[in-house]
């Protein structure tokens, strides 16, 4: 017989992969473990709360199936976690989050629901007003979760002491005092709750495994939280800004917290020895930054003799002498670089202060160390025109990285670019799914010189130009073999439908 509350916290990772990625969701995109939900469960357990996770993405569950499970479980608090597969992908999760909230409230109207995540902390009052939720978290949400569970289990219920909580009070939105950031990550949130996740269902990105195309088992981990840089198109810091303010930090400063290398490798021990994981994403916004942190992690991995296939983010100006050889030895076979644009004026406006010679020099050094490169490029930054976008594509073709991600500029909620877009009255997507790079209704920013349609058309054509380039395909053939070439050629057969281009 089910107890009144079978668990304190039920954390939900909502599903809308097909809406986000269209046809690419079936075989090319990753199915990632919900890192933030796993960390939240870990934090809650340390505070004495019981927790469960429903990963609707991995399970393939729709909103009705999730709602039935919530009603059967009857938790003290249901938490819908609005985070995506990469730092700027929170907003595009909102359609799935909305559908889940509506289904839960239809199936179990008395069930208490909290929404939290990057999008929510960027637009807290709007989220509270528009979504079928009882509560929202205005910051990173960790203390808010456990404070709220304690408040809901008390009699009488007093919400006023729940830090970082937004809720309705006598028909009006009310926002409590901010919650602090979690400071001691090792002791308060030592790692993911892998035992709560369907580990056999996760798979890596297709490019992560171009060497053998075996993409499972797979896992994602954090070794740090936050980023010290200030790229105007990025919203990575939005969940942390309230906690930073509460700590007395300047609005211009970004927090940057680290797990100890020993705690990081403890997580890898579990993944390798209990779940047989080889393919690992380091989800940090900027992993290759602090040499002492990075090199100590590498040394610990090397000591264990693990055969791992990592990928991680780096910047052109963070790769220091002596790091690359150690990274490769530890299994960091892929590094992703935000090259963004070829034109210095375009890069400088979005706080990417390095020149083209730096880019080429760094990429050459990385590849000389035997590490593959994912080059990230953005078309449609505010100063872009057809000439500068073509220069960016030409740079991508010249660098001929083992993989390239091609994005249209988006003003994601929580980014400086979003605030500029609101101030200037620039057109933004009418739906949250419109912030997805791959969705049917995507709407990138217009530039000072081009409409959004021209930006998106250029981006989609650039993708095909890059991946059908004979020089690129021959490089793949030599490094990875014919099967990988066929896989990439199959990928280019799938054209995305685009509403604003009349192809939907």
How is 264-291 classified by DSSP, letter by letter? Answer: HHHHHHHHHHHH---EEEE--TT-BT-H
- Domain identity same for 142 and 215: no
Range scoring the smallest mean pLDDT among 45-59, 80-94, 181-195: 80-94
Whether 51 is covered by a domain: the verdict is: yes
CA 137 – CA 287 distance, rounded (Å): 27
Q: Which residues contact 314 (CB under 8 A, 6 or more apart)?
A: 286, 287, 288, 335, 336, 337
Calpha distance 228→285 (Å, rounded): 10
pLDDT at 82 exceeding the cut of 80? yes
Domain co-membership, 342 together with 462? yes
| pLDDT over 90, % of the chain | 81
Residue 122 placed within a domain: yes
Mean pLDDT computed over every residue of the chain: 93
In tens, the pLDDT along 364-413 reads 999 999 999 999 999 999 999 999 999 999 999 999 999 999 999 999 99
> What integer pLDDT is reported at residue 1 of this predicted model?
38
14 and 148 belong to one structural domain = yes
**Residue 166 in this model has a pLDDT that exceeds 60:** yes
* 271 in the same domain as 155: no
Residue 216 resides in a domain: yes
pLDDT of 88 higher than 70? no
Specify whether 128 is located in the same domain as 216.
Answer: no
pLDDT the model gives residue 2: 43
Radius of gyration of the chain (CA): 22
Element (H, E) at 21: helix 17-21
Q: What is the mean pLDDT of residues 118-129?
A: 96
pLDDT surpasses 90 at 18: no
pLDDT in tens, 411-426: 999 999 999 899 989 9
Q: Would strands 279-282 and 218-221 be described as parallel, antiparallel, or unpaired?
A: parallel
pLDDT at 352: 54
Q: Is residue 1 part of a domain?
A: no
The yes-or-no verdict on residue 133 having pLDDT over 90 is yes
The CATH number covering residue 466 comes to 3.80.30.20
Q: 119 and 217: one domain?
A: no
Collapse the DSSP code of 401 into the 3-class scheme (helix H, G, I; strand E, B; otherwise coil) and give the result. coil
Interval 54-69 mean pLDDT: 95
Query: Is-contact 92 432, C-beta < 8 A?
Result: yes
Structural domain includes residue 246: no
227-236, 433-442, 460-469: range with lowest mean pLDDT: 227-236
pLDDT of residue 122: 95
What does the CA dihedral 455, 460, 465, 466 come to, rounded to 10 degrees?
A: 100
Residues 218 and 109 in one domain: no
Domain count within the chain: 2
Which CATH number do you get for residue 94?
A: 3.40.50.280
Q: Which of 171, 96, 167 is nearest to 127 (CA)?
A: 167
Average pLDDT over residues 66-83: 96
Confidence of residue 357 (pLDDT cuts 50, 70, 90): confident
Q: Residue 251: what pLDDT?
A: 83
Averaged pLDDT, 348-355: 59
pLDDT at residue 87, rounded to an integer: 61
Mean pLDDT of the region 301-315: 96
- The whole-number average pLDDT for the span 197-218 is 94
Q: What is the C-alpha to C-alpha distance for residues 200 and 94, in angstroms, rounded to an integer?
A: 26
Q: Summarize the confidence of residues 133-159 as an average pLDDT.
A: 97
Q: What is the average per-residue pLDDT within 348-368?
A: 79
Among 82-91, 133-142, 346-355, name the most confident range.
Answer: 133-142
**Is residue 394, in this structure, part of any structural domain at all?**
yes
Q: Which residue range(s) make up the domain with 276?
A: 203-223+259-409+444-491
341 pLDDT more than 50: yes
**115 and 210, same domain (yes or no):** no
- For residues 212 and 120, membership in a common domain is answered with no
207 falls within a domain: yes
Does residue 365 lie in a domain region? yes
Together in a domain, 399 and 475 = yes
**Residue partners of 490: CB distance under 8 A and separation at least 6:** none
Neighbour order of strands in the sheet with 309-314: 218-221, 279-282, 309-314, 332-340, 372-379, 403-408
The owner of tokens 């030895």 is 329
82 in the same domain as 118: yes
Are 156 and 212 within one domain?
Answer: no
Mapping DSSP to helix (H, G, I), strand (E, B) and coil, where does residue 346 land?
Answer: helix
321-336 pLDDT, tens digit per residue, is: 889 999 999 999 999 9
């Amino acid at each position: 017989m089910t107890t009144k509350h079978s668990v304190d916290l039920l954390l939900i990772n909502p599903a809308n992969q097909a809406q986000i990625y269209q046809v690419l969701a079936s075989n090319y995109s990753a199915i990632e473990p919900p890192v933030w939900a796993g960390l939240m469960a870990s934090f809650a357990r340390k505070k004495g709360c019981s927790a469960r996770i429903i990963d609707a993405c991995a399970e393939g569950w729709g909103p009705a199936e999730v709602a039935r499970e919530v009603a059967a479980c009857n938790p003290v608090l249901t938490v819908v976690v609005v985070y995506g597969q990469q730092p700027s992908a929170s907003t595009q999760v909102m359609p799935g989050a909305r559908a889940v909230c509506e289904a839960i409230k239809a199936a179990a109207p008395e069930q208490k629901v909290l929404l939290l995540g990057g999008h929510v902390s960027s637009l807290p009052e709007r989220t509270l007003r528009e979504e079928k939720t009882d509560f929202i978290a205005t910051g990173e949400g960790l203390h808010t979760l456990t404070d709220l569970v304690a408040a809901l289990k008390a009699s009488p219920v007093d919400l006023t002491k729940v830090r970082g909580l937004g809720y309705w009070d006598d028909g009006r939105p009310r926002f409590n005092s901010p919650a602090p950031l979690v400071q001691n990550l090792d002791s308060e949130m030592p790692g993911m709750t892998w035992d709560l996740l369907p580990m056999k269902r996760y798979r890596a990105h297709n490019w992560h495994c171009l060497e053998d195309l075996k993409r499972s088992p797979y896992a994602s981990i954090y070794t740090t939280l936050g980023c010290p840089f200030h790229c105007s198109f990025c919203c990575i810091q939005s969940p942390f800004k309230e906690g930073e303010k509460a700590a007395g930090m300047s609005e211009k400063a970004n927090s940057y917290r680290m797990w100890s290398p020993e705690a990081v490798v403890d997580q890898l021990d579990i993944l390798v020895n209990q779940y047989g994981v080889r393919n690992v994403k380091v989800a940090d916004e900027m992993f290759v930054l602090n040499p002492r942190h990075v090199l100590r992690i590498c040394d610990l991995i090397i000591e264990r003799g693990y055969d791992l296939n990592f990928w991680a983010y780096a910047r052109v100006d963070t790769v220091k002498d002596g790091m690359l050889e150690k990274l490769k030895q530890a299994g960091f076979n892929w590094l992703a670089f935000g090259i963004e644009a070829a034109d210095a004026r375009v890069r400088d406006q979005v706080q990417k202060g390095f020149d083209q010679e730096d880019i080429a020099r760094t990429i050459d050094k990385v590849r000389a160390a035997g590490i593959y490169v994912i080059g990230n490029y953005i078309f449609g930054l505010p100063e872009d025109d057809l000439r500068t976008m073509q220069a960016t594509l030409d740079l991508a073709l010249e660098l001929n990285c083992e993989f390239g991600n091609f994005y249209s500029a988006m003003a994601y909620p929580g980014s400086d670019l979003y605030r500029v877009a609101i101030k200037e009255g620039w057109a933004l997507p009418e739906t949250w799914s419109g912030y997805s790079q791959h969705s049917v209704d995507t709407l990138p920013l217009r530039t000072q010189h081009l409409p959004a349609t021209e930006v998106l058309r250029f981006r989609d054509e650039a993708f095909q130009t890059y991946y059908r380039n004979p020089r690129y395909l021959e490089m793949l053939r030599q490094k990875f073999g014919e099967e990988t070439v066929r896989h990439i050629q199959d990928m280019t057969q799938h054209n995305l439908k685009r509403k604003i281009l009349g192809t939907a």
